[in-house]
Structure 1
Amino acid sequence: MTRPPTIGELHHRLTLERPERTPDDAGGATVSWVTVADVWAAIAPASATETDIAGRLDGIVTHRVTLRRRADLVGGMRFVAGTRVLKILVAHDPDARGRWTECLAEEEHR
């Protein structure tokens, strides 16, 4: 966001999750998602593009997710809202004042 959100704009209830890897017997790992917190956030579309993935045209939609400051937010985590999943690509402090965290997130298809 170019300006800080108003309280009324923080109307999306999201579950913040982090990945947890558990080694399997074959030398790999299984990934499960662990809930970190439920947060209120503002979501705004950032971009939409089309790409060719394995011979199939697919859309990629990114969003800016803004919430109250969280120091524990990093890329690789995700937000979940019902059937929507937003994979966090990057998180930063948009105005360097320690009030907000803004994330660029890509919507995953389930």
Structure 2
Amino acid sequence: MSGIGALRHRLTHQTPLEVPDGAGGIARSFISVDVLWGAVEEVSTAYGLGEDRPRAARVLRVTVRAPNTIAAGDRLIHAGRVLAVESIIDADGRGRLHRIRCSEEQA
């Protein structure tokens, strides 16, 4: 990742918050933690049938500056799209960039 403007996409980092729902279960919501700038690239798209209707699942690669607090199970909001964080790796081996694998389901 190099060059001016490579990390040009605005991303909102959200983490899950679980609270008791009063009926013995939990209610999960997400709270915004941080705003990051990153590069967003589509890796693949898989098409299938879900609940009797066509669905598409996209896999995206997001690169952001490290350090940050992103973990698997969090999500990133990019241009109104919700990206579920699946995994995070050190992109350059020097701890400067994190490469994040995300998925986005579409009906």
**Normalization by structure 1: what TM-score?**
0.87
Equivalent-residue separation in structure 2 for 1:109 and 1:50 (angstroms)? 10
Question: 1:1-110 alignment to 2 at 5 Å?
Answer: 4-109=1-106
Equivalent-residue separation in structure 2 for 1:69 and 1:6 (angstroms)? 17
- One-letter amino acid of the counterpart of residue 11, structure 1: R
Q: Is the 8 A contact 2:10 2:36 kept in 1?
A: yes
Cα deviations across residues 78-98 of structure 1 (Å, max 9, x unaligned)?
111342111111111123210
Q: Is the 8 A contact 2:56 2:106 kept in 1?
A: no
Equivalent-residue separation in structure 2 for 1:74 and 1:17 (angstroms)? 10
Q: Please state how far the C-alpha of 1:30 moved relative to its aligned partner.
A: 0.8
Q: Please state how far the C-alpha of 1:109 moved relative to its aligned partner.
A: 4.2
Equivalent-residue separation in structure 2 for 1:85 and 1:62 (angstroms)? 12
Q: Which stretches of structure 1, 4 residues or longer, exceed 4 Å deviation after superposition?
A: none
Equivalent-residue separation in structure 2 for 1:62 and 1:84 (angstroms)? 13
Equivalent-residue separation in structure 2 for 1:5 and 1:20 (angstroms)? 35
Question: Over the residues paired in the alignment, what is the CA RMSD in angstroms?
Answer: 1.6
Q: Please state how far the C-alpha of 1:71 moved relative to its aligned partner.
A: 4.4
Q: Please state how far the C-alpha of 1:99 moved relative to its aligned partner.
A: 0.6
Equivalent-residue separation in structure 2 for 1:71 and 1:38 (angstroms)? 10
Equivalent-residue separation in structure 2 for 1:40 and 1:71 (angstroms)? 11
Q: Share of identical aligned residues, percent?
A: 33
Q: Is the 8 A contact 2:13 2:76 kept in 1?
A: yes
SS of the aligned residue for 2:5 comes to helix
